[in-house]
Amino acid sequence: MNNPASAIFPPAGIGDRKPANQAVLDWVHEVELLTQPENIFWCDGSEAENEFLISESLKQNVLFKLNKAKLPRSYLHRSNPNDVARVEQFTFICTPTKEEAGPTNNWSEPSATYLKLQGLLKGAMRGRTMFVIPYIMGPPDSPLTKVGFEITDSKYVVLSMRVMTRMGEVAVKRLGHDPKGEWNRGVHSLLDVNPERRLICHFPQDNTIISVGSGYGGNVLLSKKCLALRIGSYLARSQGWLAEHMLILGVESPTGKKHYVAAAFPSACGKTNFAMLIPPKHFAGWKVTTVGDDIAWMQIRDGRLWAVNPENGYFGVVPGTSYKSNPSAMKSIQRDTIYTNVALTDDGDAWWEGKDGPPPVHAIDWRGNDWTPASKQKAAHPNSRFATPMRNNPVLDPHVEDGGGVPISAIIFGGRRSDTMPLVFQAFDWEHGTYIGATMASETTAAATGAVGQVRRDPMAMLPFCGYNIGDYFRHWLETGKRLTNPPLIFHVNWFRKSADGKFLWPGFGDNMRVLKWIIDRCEGEVSATESKIGYLPKMQDLDLNELSGVSPEQIQELLTVKAEEWQKEITGHAKFFESLGGVVPKELEKQRENLAARFGT
């Protein structure tokens, strides 16, 4: 096999569209001098460029072609087995002081880090092509939209960025000629894909990201976690908006009344499934549409929160995706999709655990080895992914390109919790909702390297993504609430509660519509609720459980139960978490915790 980063030599007319902005040209030249590539490829996002890059990637085994009839224009990429997930331990926020990065981030001093990275990048692109990718995050005409340039030596990154962002001309135009314009500088090199030389570094003050040693999407598609969340959250605070790890969905009633909801669940906890929910038959006439499946940028207008999805595609977890769990995702990934680390069947189809139908009798697993159903290893990596354009989504919301965004009626927090957390409850108000978000927890998943299934606090699902001090982030949430005259209502959901014998109590997926309907009814002021110690709980009769099969009334009762012993433990967990943050938690949230504890008599 060739080196996957080997240079490629485009014919005239491809790879030569240099932007005119002098600041961009100077920066590219600087990176060129440092990394010494064989040549520079200026990406413009065109069809011809894409075709050329795909054909070169096929030659170099960076991509494998999938069955043309079953999955047109779709490809398989296999990553280095040492490089399959985000690496939180190697992710750094490089602010002048450690306090600015805060207690939840790895911090590293900027000048020393630049020096270290320069050492690693010196000559790193010899014999390779250096790609320069202009892109925007956000709809082209949104005031929130940001320009980024990513330099990379990975063709897979270029091809994926074309799916995940609005790439090329649109970004060059948006930046224009002003050498002082705001844009993000992103440098990525695969180096030798060695965990010992893997670093994902953010310099918020310089609007700069440098990522080395990895080829995994979350570490290298710098638009996504690095810009849209880590740098994004930093910019959002100073500019007065919110950058959040949230899906955005629209829900329309049979009478045509529409609400938009944003929901923060940690990685691999079902954001994509929720954003593409198909209501059960009983909800005929209800429609759920997707604005975004991972990231929401939200600004205040007319006292309300308005959200845009800065992305242009979905980078979703493949295993478990099926026509039963997420038909719209299945339809989306039938074409134009880059699959990473799934299995390859003998007829060139993609396969993974949890796909509809029986497993293939033989396949090549994600590592490139023979696989049969008798194999002990998984055929697809648990964090195998699809990158697919959002335009493929059959339930794409018609307002996804609106620059002003969509008005948010409700914010939902949630995680994987086997116990303690009821199916749904509502915060008393914004400040209490901020507390619920700040203390939320979830069992860890394969989306990041490390142990899976351990409960960890993950405030607003932003633990790995908040680019500054988490105490200031909480403060920013509290201040945002004060500026909202018509704030979204805040809820917490848990689809993952289990019975004493370890079985899920709630079917989830499409049936989550029943919970969403209650949330919408609350937004409409159509139903009352039971005030409990933790917030407002649904009254049984207000949850539409008609035609819900296989769930007993006792199960529903259990799903809505607040158990004092579990909550006492939970409150201790909140206290420990706040303590671990070393005094940065705003006093309002400490007070919320005291009030909650007092309600439980502790």
**Cβ neighbour number for residue 73 with a 10 Å cutoff:** 14
Tokens of 400: 């996804």
Q: Least Å distance between CB 458 and Mn ion?
A: 11
**How far is residue 232's CA from residue 294's CA, in Å, rounded to a whole number?**
14
* Residue 319 contact among Mn ion, ligand OXD, none, beta carbon within 5 to 8 Å by kind: none
Tell me the window of 60-68, 226-234, 253-261, 288-296 that interacts with Mn ion (CB under 5 A).
Answer: 288-296
**How far is residue 297's CA from residue 137's CA, in Å, rounded to a whole number?**
10
Q: Least Å distance between CB 119 and Mn ion?
A: 31
Shorter beta-carbon distance to ligand OXD: residue 183 or 339: 339
Strand partners, 16: 42
Strand partners, 150: 133, 186
Backbone angles phi, psi at 90, to 5 degrees: -110, 15
- Give Cα separations from 63 to 215, 339, 362, 458 (angstroms): 13, 9, 21, 35
Q: Is 86 in the site for ligand OXD (CB under 6 A)?
A: yes
Shorter beta-carbon distance to ligand OXD: residue 278 or 446: 446
Interaction residues for ligand OXD, span 139-158 (CB under 6 A) = none
- H helix runs in 423-511, sequence order: 430-438, 470-483
Residue of 45, 218, 467, 538 interacting with ligand OXD (CB under 6 A): 218
Per rule CB under 5 A, count of chain residues that contact Mn ion: 2
Binding-residue pattern over the window 429 to 468 for ligand OXD, x denoting contact by CB under 6 A: ------------------x---------------------
Shorter beta-carbon distance to Mn ion: residue 45 or 232: 232
Shorter beta-carbon distance to ligand OXD: residue 283 or 315: 315
Helices (H) and strands (E) in the chain, counts: 16, 31
Q: Is 267 in the site for Mn ion (CB under 5 A)?
A: yes
**How far is residue 44's CA from residue 55's CA, in Å, rounded to a whole number?**
17
Shorter beta-carbon distance to Mn ion: residue 42 or 90: 90
* Residue 336 contact among ligand OXD, Mn ion, none, beta carbon within 5 to 8 Å by kind: none
Tell me the window of 234-242, 260-268, 279-287, 485-493 that interacts with Mn ion (CB under 5 A).
Answer: 260-268
Please state the three-class secondary structure of 210-256 as a single string.
EEECCCCHHHHCCHHHHHHHHHHHHHHHHHCCEEECCEEEEEECCCC
Q: For 204, how many CA atoms within 13 A lie in the half-sphere containing its CB?
A: 28
**How far is residue 567's CA from residue 553's CA, in Å, rounded to a whole number?**
23
* Residue 218 contact among ligand OXD, Mn ion, none, beta carbon within 5 to 8 Å by kind: ligand OXD
Q: What share of the chain is helix, strand, coil (3-state, %, to 5)?
A: 30, 25, 45
Tell me the window of 134-142, 150-158, 263-271, 317-325 that interacts with Mn ion (CB under 5 A).
Answer: 263-271
Q: Least Å distance between CB 229 and ligand OXD?
A: 9
Shorter beta-carbon distance to ligand OXD: residue 86 or 146: 86
Q: Is 445 in the site for Mn ion (CB under 5 A)?
A: no
Q: Least Å distance between CB 331 and ligand OXD?
A: 20
According to DSSP, the β-strands at 304-308 and 106-107 are unpaired
Q: Least Å distance between CB 313 and Mn ion?
A: 13
Cβ within 8 Å of residue 357, ≥6 positions away: none
> Looking at beta carbons, which residue is closest to Mn ion?
294
Binding-residue pattern over the window 258 to 277 for ligand OXD, x denoting contact by CB under 6 A: ---------x----------
**How far is residue 207's CA from residue 284's CA, in Å, rounded to a whole number?**
47
Shorter beta-carbon distance to ligand OXD: residue 223 or 420: 223
**Cβ neighbour number for residue 338 with a 10 Å cutoff:** 27
* Residue 86 contact among Mn ion, ligand OXD, none, beta carbon within 5 to 8 Å by kind: ligand OXD
- Give Cα separations from 440 to 15, 32, 397, 493, 503 (angstroms): 46, 44, 28, 10, 22
Instruction: State the catalytic residues.
Output: 269
> Looking at beta carbons, which residue is closest to ligand OXD?
267
Shorter beta-carbon distance to ligand OXD: residue 44 or 294: 294
Q: Least Å distance between CB 244 and ligand OXD?
A: 12
Burial class (CB in 10 A: 0-12, 13-18, 19+), 79: buried
CB 284 within 8 A of CB 300: no
**How far is residue 258's CA from residue 250's CA, in Å, rounded to a whole number?**
7
Q: Least Å distance between CB 538 and ligand OXD?
A: 29
* Residue 447 contact among Mn ion, ligand OXD, none, beta carbon within 5 to 8 Å by kind: ligand OXD
The CA dihedral of 16, 22, 24, 28, to the nearest 10 degrees, is: 70
**How far is residue 159's CA from residue 3's CA, in Å, rounded to a whole number?**
17
CB 223 within 8 A of CB 217: no
Q: Least Å distance between CB 599 and Mn ion?
A: 33
Shorter beta-carbon distance to ligand OXD: residue 17 or 188: 188
Q: For 127, how many CA atoms within 13 A lie in the half-sphere containing its CB?
A: 8
Tell me the window of 34-42, 231-239, 261-269, 572-580 that interacts with Mn ion (CB under 5 A).
Answer: 261-269
Q: Least Å distance between CB 263 and Mn ion?
A: 12
Binding-residue pattern over the window 312 to 331 for ligand OXD, x denoting contact by CB under 6 A: ---x----------------
- According to DSSP, residue 392 is labeled G
Q: Least Å distance between CB 454 and ligand OXD?
A: 16
Shorter beta-carbon distance to ligand OXD: residue 294 or 521: 294
Binding residues (CB under 5 A) for Mn ion: these are 267, 294
Binding residues (CB under 6 A) for ligand OXD: these are 86, 218, 267, 294, 315, 447
